[in-house]
Chain A
Amino acid sequence: MGISATGVVDHSALKVNQTGIVATVLVAFIGSAFYRPLLVLIPLLAVVLLVGTFAPQLALFKQFYFKVLKPRGIVKPRPVQDRPEPHNFAQGMGGVVLAIASVFLLPLPVVGLALALLVAVLAFVNVAFGFCLGCQIYYQLGRTGLIKAASPTRSSGTTGPF
């Protein structure tokens, strides 16, 4: 999570990732009302997000974008001069919250489902409005010195707090 040079981040990959999160949580949330084993999608999504955070080449939704959607022209690339760290941090945070949600799914399903739904809501807000709460937390932690955050000067430009 150290300071790195400004790179180019394909924001379409981020959008596909966030859409994948929203879709998976919604399938788990609605589907589990009729077929409880679908709840397994939540811990699986947690694993996907956490693995993707530390090994971007294994990020399932992003790879789906890079290997399938982008080459076939289904989703057009949108390269933006940006830093990937805040987005990775946000994804990792989503993974952690989903992992916590997974722990609660069996003993306290309301808490587990609520946490998973909260991740989906935040992913949706990011897709729809470009506001990334995880990125905001990343900068706040960087400002307090808890992490070595990259300067927000070159970070994602969003409609939300910078």
Chain B
Amino acid sequence: MSSQFWALAAVGAVVLAAAGLELVRSRLARARALGVAVAPAADPYILYFTGENCSVCRTHQEPALAKLAGVRIDKVDAIAERELADRFHVYTLPTTVVMSPQGRSLHVNYGYAPANKLERQLADARGAGLRASATA
């Protein structure tokens, strides 16, 4: 029984360490991806990084994006447009980036982002756009 306990403890430690490293990596990636500038637009928009065979993109992310009425979605093939994907540190599909009207990334979601989360981020982006136009 003690072998099982120590084995479980060892694997638990490995899993926790891996999860911690992944958390640090994704936070660093998110921090680096924020503020990256792309083309400006009239309204906030979403960069949607996907891949040809990303099943979660089709089963979850695309239905969520379809719920966002009247929002411009720029679909990006993360493999074909490697340079752009690298700028946003995209190592996970799907990845969605909420861009301000000034073309700056405000929110980066690695992995599936539900519609309500994207709505909140878009509202924040609209606010940021208004603040920017007021100060201009």
A contact set with B: CB distance below 8 Å: 11, 29-30, 32-33, 80-82, 109-114, 117-118, 121, 130, 152-162
Pick 14 A–B contacts, CB within 8 A, sort by A: A29-B7, A81-B52, A81-B53, A110-B6, A114-B7, A157-B51, A157-B54, A157-B55, A158-B54, A158-B55, A158-B93, A159-B93, A159-B111, A162-B91
Distance, CA A157 to CA B111, complexed state (A): 12
Q: Which residues of B contact A111 (CB under 8 A)?
A: 7
**Is residue B11 contacting chain A, with contact meaning CB distance below 8 A?**
yes
**Contacts A153-B52, A157-B52, A157-B56; A117 near B92 (Cβ below 8 A):** no
Tell me the nearest residue of chain B to A159, going by C-beta.
Answer: B56
Q: Which residues of A contact B71 (CB under 8 A)?
A: none
Q: Which residues of B contact A158 (CB under 8 A)?
A: 54-56, 93
Distance, CA A110 to CA B8, complexed state (A): 9
**Contacts A118-B14, A156-B53; A30 near B93 (Cβ below 8 A):** no
Task: Please tell me if the beta carbons of A33 and B112 are within 8 angstroms of each other in the complex.
Answer: no
A117 to chain B, nearest CB (A): 4
Task: Please tell me if the beta carbons of A153 and B79 are within 8 angstroms of each other in the complex.
Answer: yes
B111 to chain A, nearest CB (A): 5
Distance, CA A38 to CA B11, complexed state (A): 20
**Is residue B4 contacting chain A, with contact meaning CB distance below 8 A?**
yes
A115 to chain B, nearest CB (A): 9
**Is residue B15 contacting chain A, with contact meaning CB distance below 8 A?**
yes
**Is residue B57 contacting chain A, with contact meaning CB distance below 8 A?**
yes
Q: Which residues of A contact B55 (CB under 8 A)?
A: 11, 80, 130, 157-158
